[in-house]
């Protein structure tokens, strides 16, 4: 297994995050110099930027999001109606002198 502790404070990198890394990447990173680690950060940030841009331009994904949004309207409206009933009932109780504090 790769070294998962920091030299400064001996904290342990979480296993659930370590599992997301490609095989061997942590071992490679442990051997990198500071400048190489900074370059790896920059490259990863650039990759994230490109991934997000591709996601925004994915017509199929955006179509699915729109479909979900359209199909969920009745549920959102029904839930909002029920929440408004609760608020109105609480308003009436408060108007009748009922203490609504905890």
Q: Are residues 49 and 67 in the same domain?
A: no
Q: For the chain, how many structural domains are there in total?
A: 2
Q: Are residues 51 and 68 in the same domain?
A: no
Q: Are residues 66 and 101 in the same domain?
A: yes
Q: Are residues 52 and 68 in the same domain?
A: no
What per-residue confidence (pLDDT) applies to 1? 47
Q: Are residues 69 and 36 in the same domain?
A: no
End-to-end Cα spacing for the chain? 52
CA angle in degrees (0–180, nearest 5) for 34-39-40: 95
What per-residue confidence (pLDDT) applies to 81? 98
Q: What sign does the CA torsion over 15, 25, 49, 55 have?
A: negative
pTM over 0.85: no
The CA distance from 3 to 11, in Å, is 11
| Cβ–Cβ < 8 Å for 44, 52 | no
Cα–Cα distance list, 74 to 2, 12, 68, 70, 85 (Å):
51, 47, 11, 9, 16
What per-residue confidence (pLDDT) applies to 80? 98
* Phi, psi angles (nearest 5°) of residue 91: -60, -45
Q: Are residues 102 and 66 in the same domain?
A: yes
Report if residue 3 sits inside a domain.
no
What per-residue confidence (pLDDT) applies to 102? 73
pLDDT tens digits for range 13-71: 999 999 999 999 999 999 999 999 999 999 999 999 999 999 999 999 999 999 999 99
The CA distance from 52 to 69, in Å, is 20
Domain that holds residue 76: 62-102
Report if residue 76 sits inside a domain.
yes
């Amino acid at each position: 297994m790769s070294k998962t502790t920091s030299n400064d404070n001996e904290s342990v990198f979480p296993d659930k995050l370590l599992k997301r890394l490609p095989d061997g990447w942590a071992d490679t990173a442990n051997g990198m110099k500071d400048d190489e680690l900074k370059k790896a950060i920059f490259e990863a940030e650039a990759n994230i930027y490109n991934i997000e841009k591709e996601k925004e331009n994915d017509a199929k994904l955006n179509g699915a999001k729109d479909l979900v949004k359209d199909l969920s309207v009745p549920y959102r409206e029904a839930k909002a109606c029920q929440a408004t009933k609760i608020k109105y009932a609480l308003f009436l109780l408060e108007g009748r002198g009922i203490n609504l504090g905890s």
